[in-house]
Structures are given as structure tokens and as C-alpha cells.
Amino acid sequence: MIKITRLCKSFIYAWQGLCKAFKEEQNLQIQTAVSLLVLAMAWYFQISRWEWIVIVLIIILVILMELANSVAERITDVLKPRLNGYVKEIKDIMAAGVLVASLTSIIVGLLIFWPHLSKFFGQF
């Protein structure tokens, strides 16, 4: 049986974790700001439902990768603080995952917004 108080506590803890990550991770702040700009552009250009779905999923992918990267950094710092060569490799590989997700989001964004932007700037 589901215990409502336990469920509510888990949501509160998750929210606290998200707030802590947002306060401490500069890249997450930048990614959030860019995401809001992209969502505003999507609304302005009235993109299709499928384009909305893709945009939302790709935003979530980048944010999830950044959160996973933050977790991996903290875990490696606790287990083997910067003294082990594997710690650097783990952090670099996780950062590469965020980079791949971010580059993918740029490509997807260009594919979706290029026709709208070319029409928009063609008016000037």
C-alpha cells in the first residue's frame, strides 16, 4: 500500500536536490536559461506538436545528463578525491556525455527552428 506521507517526503527530497544542483551548478543554470529561451521561441513560432515533443525531450535529456554528471563528480570526490587518475577519467567521460547531449540539442534545435528563423530574418 502506498504511504502518502512517505511519497510526499520523497518528492520534497527530490525537489531539494534539484534546487541544490541548480544553486551550485553553473552549467545547469546556463542550460536552464537556454531552455527557457528555446521554449519561448517554440511558442513564438508556433511549432508543431511533434516538434514540441522533441524539444521537451531534448531539454530533459540535457538536464538529466547534467544532473548525472554532478552526481558522478560528487561520488568520485567522496570515494577517491582527485588523487586517482580514474577520477579524472570518470569526470571527463561524464562531461563528454553532457557535451554530446548538448551538441545533439543544438543540431535538433537548428533542424526545427531553421525554417522559422530564415523566414523571420528574411522579413528584414
Q: What is the pLDDT of residues 85-99, one digit of tens each?
A: 888 899 999 999 999
- 61 is written with which cell numbers? 535529456
pTM score, two decimals? Answer: 0.87
- 36 by Cβ neighbours in 10 Å (0-12 / 13-18 / 19+) ranks as exposed
| Predicted confidence (pLDDT) per residue in 60-77, tens digit | 999 999 999 999 999 988
| 45-59 burial code (b ≥16 CB/10 A, e <16) | bebeeebeebbeebb
Give me the domains of the chain, ranges plus CATH numbers: 4-122 (1.10.287.3610)
DSSP characters for 22-55? HHH-HHHHHHHHHHHHHHHHHHHHT--HHHHHHH
Of 114, 66, 70, 73, residue with least CA distance to 90? 73
- Beta-carbon contacts of 90 under 8 Å, excluding residues fewer than 6 positions away, are 72, 76
- Encode pLDDT of 5-36 as tens digits: 999 999 999 999 999 999 999 999 999 999 99
Q: Quick one: pLDDT at residue 78?
A: 87
